[in-house]
Amino acid sequence: MEKVFFSENQMTKSIWIWLLLFLLLAIFVYATVAQVFLGQPFGNQSAPDYVLIVNGLLIIVFFWIFINMKLITEVREDGWYYKFRPFHNKWRFIKWEEIDKTEVRKYKPVYEYGGWGIRSLFGKGKAFSMRGSSGLQLTLKNKQKVLFGTQKSAELEKAIEMIMKS
């Protein structure tokens, strides 16, 4: 096993997003139970039962994805490792030899990449971020750019310096 110089696990902590998701989930659970199981139409122009059930299941799946969403990053001797769960189950890996430039920097998630998550908008390269506005920008030798959000920018910078010196 390679020596790990830096490791970070990030999850969303935005209370507003959690409240919104929980509110949506509660409304659809209430509507589905009231209409499908208790026979009380939900609203003046209630949707068919199957629409409520399908929408409720979609919200539950989205809620599950959001609960399990986590960006895991590691600096190791041989390269940069990352997983964006639940979308990546195995480590993704970028060798140091494939990287032309590293830069820990501030960025504007919405302006540069269209928000947080896995993004590749606006021709600025790909971004993997959970929250905040600090990240590691990798410029690869093939000219592609990849940005990884971090909450530990000083620690990450030190780890990369250690790797580059050795």
Going by pLDDT thresholds of 50, 70 and 90, the confidence category of residue 63 is: confident
| 113, pLDDT greater than 90 | no
Predicted confidence (pLDDT) per residue in 1-20, tens digit: 678 999 999 988 778 878 88
Q: Find the helix or strand (DSSP H, E) in which 26 lies.
A: helix 15-32
One domain for residues 50 and 117: no
One domain for residues 157 and 103: yes
Residues of the domain holding 78: 4-9+71-165
| 67, pLDDT greater than 90 | no
One domain for residues 86 and 139: yes
One domain for residues 18 and 85: no
The residue from 68, 88, 107 where one domain ends is 68
Percentage of the chain lying above the pLDDT 70 cut: 97
One domain for residues 62 and 75: no
| 122, pLDDT greater than 70 | no
One domain for residues 131 and 149: yes
Number of domains in the chain: 2
Query: Mean pLDDT for the chain?
Result: 89
Interval 129-149 mean pLDDT: 94
Contact 156, 104 (CB under 8 A): yes
One domain for residues 58 and 140: no
CA distance 8 to 126: 19
